[in-house]
Amino acid sequence: MLEALFTALGLVLGGVATVVGLLHDEKPSIPRKVLFILASVGVAVGLITTYVQYQDRKTADKAADDARQRLTAIQDKVGDLAQVDGSVQTKMEDLTMLDKLGGGQYYVVIDTFKKSSAPDDKDFASVKNRLTLLYPNAEANGLLWTSPAPGSPTRYELRFGRNLTPSSAEIFLNLANQGLANGHALIRRER
């Protein structure tokens, strides 16, 4: 605002000086009248231009303030990057500690189904379909397969993941419990 005020003041003083100079000239003439009109128009155009620039600057400053407020709101929602990084590091340390409990010998049992049972066959197809929609290459890569249930010749298991570390098995179990399984998922160790 101070810049606009000084610009306007400079234009007015320059215009007044020109007009006073023209009025004190003793010879009335057409060129003097033209110069007087041009000086007056110049002052008017300068003042209008200064006002327009002032309004544009005000709008730009308001937009910058709005952007700063939005950025602050986003930063408040996300939190400090150091806090997020610390949280990730803590989780990674927890998973690393979990891996120290065993090697890559685990898999997840998504669910157990009864052989030759129409309702179980339907459940099996539904669960397998959800898995293959989310992980289309799981079966081709050997991460999704069926196997007889241990100790039960009339049942079979749908298994997810092979040679998993304990932390990986926990992640696969979490995926299974997030809508892939019918609530029966569990981690098993390979024998």
For residues 185 and 101, membership in a common domain is answered with: yes
For residues 183 and 102, membership in a common domain is answered with: yes
Using the predicted structure, report yes or no on whether residue 98 has a pLDDT greater than 70. Answer: no
For residues 57 and 138, membership in a common domain is answered with: no
Distance separating alpha carbons of residues 9 and 28, to the nearest angstrom: 29
How many Cβ atoms sit within 10 Å of the Cβ of residue 18? 17
For residues 106 and 73, membership in a common domain is answered with: no
For residues 38 and 102, membership in a common domain is answered with: no
Residue 54 inside a domain? The answer is yes
pTM for the whole thing?
Answer: 0.48
Using the predicted structure, report yes or no on whether residue 142 has a pLDDT greater than 80. Answer: yes
Q: What is the pLDDT of residue 43?
A: 74
Q: What is the pLDDT of residue 121?
A: 92
Q: Which of 89-93, 117-121, 133-137 has the highest mean pLDDT?
A: 117-121
For residues 72 and 12, membership in a common domain is answered with: yes
Least confident of 18-32, 46-60, 96-110: 18-32
The CA–CA distances, whole Å, from 126 to 40, 110, 129, 131, 143 equal 85, 12, 5, 9, 17
Q: What is the pLDDT of residue 166?
A: 82
For residues 104 and 171, membership in a common domain is answered with: yes
3-state secondary structure the chain: CHHHHHHHHHHHHHHHHHHHHHHCCCCCCHHHHHHHHHHHHHHHHHHHHHHHHHHHHHHHHHHHHHHHHHHHHHHHHHCCHHHHHHHHHHHHHHHHHHHCCCCCCEEEEEEEEECCCHHHHHHHHHHHHHHHHHCCCCCCCCCEEEEEECCEEEEEEEEEEEEECHHHHHHHHHHHHHHHCCCCCEEEECC
Q: What is the mean pLDDT of residues 10-18?
A: 69
Residue 90 inside a domain? The answer is no
Residue 68 inside a domain? The answer is yes
Q: Give the structural domain span for 61.
A: 2-78
Q: What is the pLDDT of residue 155?
A: 94
Distance separating alpha carbons of residues 35 and 2, to the nearest angstrom: 30
For residues 29 and 57, membership in a common domain is answered with: yes
Residue 183 inside a domain? The answer is yes
Distance separating alpha carbons of residues 60 and 73, to the nearest angstrom: 20
Model confidence at 122, pLDDT cuts 50, 70, 90, reads very high
Work out how many domains the chain is built from and give that number: 2
Q: What is the mean pLDDT of residues 36-41?
A: 74
Using the predicted structure, report yes or no on whether residue 27 has a pLDDT greater than 80. Answer: no
Using the predicted structure, report yes or no on whether residue 179 has a pLDDT greater than 70. Answer: no
Q: For the chain, what is the mean pLDDT?
A: 79
Residue 126 inside a domain? The answer is yes
The CA–CA distances, whole Å, from 108 to 80, 144, 172, 190 equal 36, 10, 7, 10
